[in-house]
Amino acid sequence: MNGAINFTYGFSHGVEWGWPIAVYLLLAGISGGALIVALLIRFYKKQQVDTPLLKAASLVSFVTIAFGMVFLVGDLEKPLYFWKILIHYNFTSVMSIGVMAISIYIPLTLIMCLYMFEKEISMVLAKKSQLVSYFAMIMATLTKIRPFIEVLSVIFAVVICAYTGFLISVLVRFPILNTAILPALFVVSGLSAGTASASMVASYLFKENTHSADLKTLHTIEWPIMAVEIMLIAMLFVSLLVGNEFQQTTTVAFKSGLFANLFWFGVMGIGFGLPLVLNFGLGKKMASTHMAFYLSGMASVLGVLCLRMFIIYAGQTFSV
């Protein structure tokens, strides 16, 4: 009985999760990925100053998760009742655990922004001395626990990237979604999109040189991240190919039709192929230009969006 219930668990009205959820998954991945790479670089290099990369990543992480929540809540059948999820927790539910993680992660990204832009905020509040005093008191307290906040931010950034994969993977009626590979794929693709987004914002808003030490580090780790991402996608395909008869039929999503076009042109072509061409196929002179830098970053982000769209739509189309 329990096995039957678990096996048929899932949506009953076709495609329930549409493009807003795919956009949320992208933004959540960017948010977590950007903060992870920037803070890990800070830890590894033992940086004591707030670098343009860390400022960019902190800003990106807060803005993207905030906009992501707009898409997530807006897609709910009754978005005005979202607050009920925040006060009623079921610790055996992946959804409840995810909501709790988001409730902790969003304030962490806000605190990271306060660290990065403390001087700018103080200048804005300068005309109201009482507010400046309160803000100074708050920052004095937060500064004492900054190392703890930074470590906690990395942990919850990983959780935010991964939990949606865990949430989707419990839908056992959908073979493409019901796989343990998804959480890892969402973390790695989030790192890819987050790295690209933080690099572009650091260069554009904070005038970081595209050949600076930090951006060179990001450029160095970008390719191993992409390689792992491709490996996980291949593992997803192979797991379906060697599965039961129905799982094998779902591989058509990779081979023909609209979903295959989205995968091969969007994910593989734009997401992986275009950055490779821009960085290695056009010569060092072209690869070092600002245009190639931004085009490569935008292609990586668009490729991750296409991957999220493919998983969401193709995953829900093929059900038991």
Is residue 251 helix, strand or coil? coil
pLDDT band at 3 (very low <50, low <70, confident <90, very high): very low
Q: What's the whole-number mean pLDDT along residues 258-272?
A: 94
What's the confidence (pLDDT) of residue 211?
Answer: 87
pLDDT of residue 195 exceeding 70, the answer is: yes
Quick check: 115 pLDDT over 90?
Answer: yes
pLDDT on residue 176:
82
Q: Does the structure show a pLDDT above 50 at 1?
A: no
Alpha-carbon dihedral angle through residues 215, 304, 67, 40, given to the nearest 10 degrees = -40
Mean pLDDT throughout 270-276? 92
Amino acid at 278: L
What digits encode the pLDDT tens for the residues 57-101?
A: 999 999 999 999 988 887 665 665 565 665 666 666 666 777 788
Q: Nearest-CA neighbor of 37 among 277, 218, 242?
A: 218
The mean pLDDT of 200-213, rounded to a whole number, is 93
Mean pLDDT of 134-155: 95
CATH of 19-318, one of 3.20.20.10, 1.20.1630.10, 1.10.3720.10, 2.10.25.10: 1.20.1630.10
Question: Which range (101-110, 117-126, 200-209) has the least confidence?
Answer: 117-126
| Calculated CA dihedral for residues 101, 103, 106, 108, nearest 10 degrees | -70
Q: What are phi and psi of 9, to 5 degrees?
A: -65, 130
Among residues of the chain, what percentage have pLDDT more than 70? 85
pLDDT value at 14 more than 60:
no
Token pair for 177: 């979604």
Token pair of 142 as six digits: 């937060």
The domain ranges of the chain are 19-318
Work out the pLDDT band at 249, boundaries 50, 70, 90: confident
Q: How many angstroms separate the CA atoms of 282 and 274, rounded?
A: 11
pLDDT of residue 148: 97
Residue 130 is predicted with a pLDDT of 78
- pLDDT range class, residue 283, cuts 50, 70, 90: low
Is the pLDDT confidence value at 182 over 70?
yes
- Look up residue 80 and give its two tokens: 């005005």
> 3-state DSSP helix/strand/coil percent for the chain, to nearest 5?
80, 0, 20
Distance CA 33, CA 162 (A): 11
pLDDT at 77: 59
pLDDT surpassing 90 at residue 184: yes
Q: Between the ranges 31-45, 87-101, 113-127, 276-290, where is the mean pLDDT highest?
A: 31-45
Average pLDDT over residues 132-155: 94
* 28 φ, ψ (degrees, to nearest 5): -65, -40
Between 184 and 131, residue with greater pLDDT:
184
- In which band, very low, low, confident or very high, does the pLDDT at 320 lie, cut at 50, 70 and 90? low
Higher pLDDT, 248 or 284: 248
Query: How many Cβ atoms sit within 10 Å of the Cβ of residue 239?
Result: 15
Which one has a higher pLDDT value, 260 or 84? 260
> Does 5 score more than 50 pLDDT?
no
Instruction: Please calculate the CA angle 153-155-156 and round it to the nearest 5 degrees.
Output: 65
